[in-house]
Amino acid sequence: MLRLLRHQARGTRSCLCGQRRYEHHKRVMAIRREDINVWERRAPLAPRHVKEIVHAGHKVLVQPSNRRAIHENYYEKAGAIISEDISEASLIIGVKSPPEEKLYPRKTYAFFSHTIKAQEANMALLDDLLKKEVRLIDYEKMVDANGFRIVAFGQWAGVAGMINILHGLGLRFLALGHHTPFMHIGMAHNYRNVSQAIQAVRDCGYEISMGLMPKSIGPVTFVFTGTGNVSKGAQDIINELPVEYVEPHELKDVSQTGDMSRVYATVLSRHHHLMRKSDGVYDPLEYEYHPELYTSHFRTSVAPYTTCLINGIYWDPQTPRLLRRLDAQRLLTHVKPSAAATEGWPELPHKLLAICDISADMGGSIEFMTECTSIDKPFCMYDADQHIDHDSVEGTGILMCSIDNLPAQLPIEATEYFGDRLFPYIWEMVRPAVITSEGKLTPKFEYIEDLRERSGMKRVLLLGSGYVSGPVIEYLTRDPGTQITVASVLLTQAEELAGKYPNTIPVMLDVTSQEGHLESLVKDHDLVISMLPYGYHPVIAKHCINKKVNMVTASYLSPAMKDLQQSAEEAGITIVNEMGLDPGIDHMLAMECIDQAKADGCTIESYSSFCGGLPAPECSDNPLRYKFSWSPYGVLLNTISPAIFLKDNEVVSIPAGGTLMESTAPMDFLPGFNLEGFPNRDSTKYSEQYGIESAHTLIRGTLRFKNCLKCHCML
């Protein structure tokens, strides 16, 4: 049994020895500017997505826009062409719909059209699309086999909506005579990024935990409807407060007697509030097909004990409403002040103070939410007499926030998030469609061939069987269209693995003496994964270059492999090294950490990272306190290799021989594991590769159990 132990991530992007080259543009696509709303600063794709599209041989045009949150210079650096005229593009993508007069005829467009519910305001746009013979790809209609949407901004709508309503609660409490820690939280768009907003929420939470909420308002409770991305995004924000989650039926008790040094939350699923009208029972299967037979008891069982409702559920006219107009009148009945209430310590007029309707379905699950608010006027007051006081937090009633373009408040993160979901489908969207004899839209045959090539490996050659090969094969065989040939020096090992997984063929092969057999195997596969000891990789790589087959290894980029870079580029193949645990996963986690720090405006001054794959303590039952799933020689060689690292702007060099293990240092971040660490080869070269030239200390090290490798003399 192996257990991965890590102390602070480290990493870099894996080295590419070769990349595909293209001589001409295959297709032309464009990213149009967003001009439907002054707050719309998002884009459908980020520069890193554009870079991959350009690298694949396509031409990308980007309409200039000073309003776009990601500066056009970044798109230009990614290979896009900044151009006002995008008529050349066959595919034009955006976030929101373009004005009707700016639609090019006979093009493929992708955007949120907001027409699938026959929204009256957009029917003219739909007519124009039909008139101009536009092929529309509506993001709302991009679903998987189960009908779930695959391209959406849901999570960031939840994040922004929750930040906004916490800000709104601060204002509403103040209007009712109470200063609360929520006053420290601003609107989502006031922060440079979501990390800054989260810090403000944490500051608020700190004061709540210190007992600084006015006692006269009682415990604050939040109710989240739904369990999808919207609800999860909102919960990510409230989790930064001292929050305690309770079941819906517990809400009544905590709203009356709960701890004032925390807030309470509950997540409402269908079974919590839906019941059949006839007998009060909930049948999930029946509800899917006959929602009209059901009603909701939310108005009596949950709403009276809710301070703030965050609504994130999709509503259909056949489904029950959460709250009706009549329910609002009953919930807004004024509470009689207690004897302890004074002008300085006023009590709340009623429990339900705020609703953040992130779903923004007008007249939907919240019946009295009949019009959306906006980013510049985010709040309105709805009172028991059905009167709406616009752009206000004062007076009587419920504070309403129902912004329908919430992710626009966090445009950079929302663009990255949305682009990650849209990007896999760009390859299909960018190709023109033809009409078949049956009247169906079908990609041209040339696209089918290209898609087959892009769909990844269909035949994989895995060299080296053993403990590590099993998980790799298990991952690859998840795709039933992938066939794996697993080759080993011992046929029994290969047969054992092949017997566990479908579409796997065992082969016996000695790469040192059967190069002819090796070459024939390489040429018949789309990808070669070499899990052999590092010294054999150059042999495999040369055959891959000769047969123009891509290759992946988990080993460090050795000088011998580096020497093959030009040959790999000329062959037009990709060879990826350092794709294991260490190096590999550590690189990716480190770059994630470093990139986030830079995005937050930080400067990296020190980088210290140790990691390693170790057996569980109860399984470390040998003198080395280590178990080999890889090359024993490579592991032991690492203990007498030279090491170089940077400490306080001074280069520290440890020569080859037996001195490295004398440089071990205790690693007490997990005291129960009794770990030590030692420098791992040349750490200084990662200063440039990681982009942390500012660091005065840079060390990458290896974790081991204490005293486990003192016997390096075995070599």
**Sequence-ordered list of residues with C-beta below 8 angstroms from that of 521, at least 6 positions apart, any chain:** 461, 485, 487, 507, 509
Query: Would strands 527-530 and 504-508 be described as parallel, antiparallel, or unpaired?
Result: unpaired
- Tokens in use for 385? 């007499």
Residues 222 and 244: their CA atoms lie apart, in Å, by 10
What dihedral do alpha carbons 230, 232, 238, 243 form, nearest 10°? 140
Q: Is 203 a catalytic residue?
A: no
Side chain identity, residue 460: V
Side chain identity, residue 666: P
What letter does residue 572 receive in the DSSP assignment?
A: T
Are the C-beta atoms of 660 and 641 separated by less than 8 Å? Answer: yes
Residues in the chain: 715
- DSSP assignment of 62-95: E---SS-SS-HHHHHHTT-EE-S--TT-SEEEEE
Are the C-beta atoms of 591 and 10 separated by less than 8 Å? Answer: no
- Bridge partner residues of 221 (DSSP): 264
Are the C-beta atoms of 231 and 361 separated by less than 8 Å? Answer: no
Order of strands across the sheet with 550-553? 504-508, 483-488, 459-463, 527-530, 550-553, 575-576
Q: Which ranges constitute the DSSP H helices of 455-490?
A: 469-476
Residues 184 and 687: their CA atoms lie apart, in Å, by 39
**Sequence-ordered list of residues with C-beta below 8 angstroms from that of 407, at least 6 positions apart, any chain:** 42, 153, 156, 157, 160, 414, 418
Element spanning 667, H or E? strand 665-667
Instruction: Identify the active-site residue in 327, 361, 450, 582.
Output: 582
Q: Which of 680, 12, 46 is nearest to 413 (CA)?
A: 46
Are the C-beta atoms of 83 and 63 separated by less than 8 Å? Answer: yes
Q: Which of 524, 311, 514, 502 is nearest to 401 (CA)?
A: 311
Question: Which letter, b or e, does each residue of 548-586 get, where b requires 16 or more Cβ atoms within 10 Å of its Cβ?
Answer: ebbbbbbbbbeeebeebeebbbebebbbbbbbbbbbbbb
What positions carry a catalytic annotation?
582
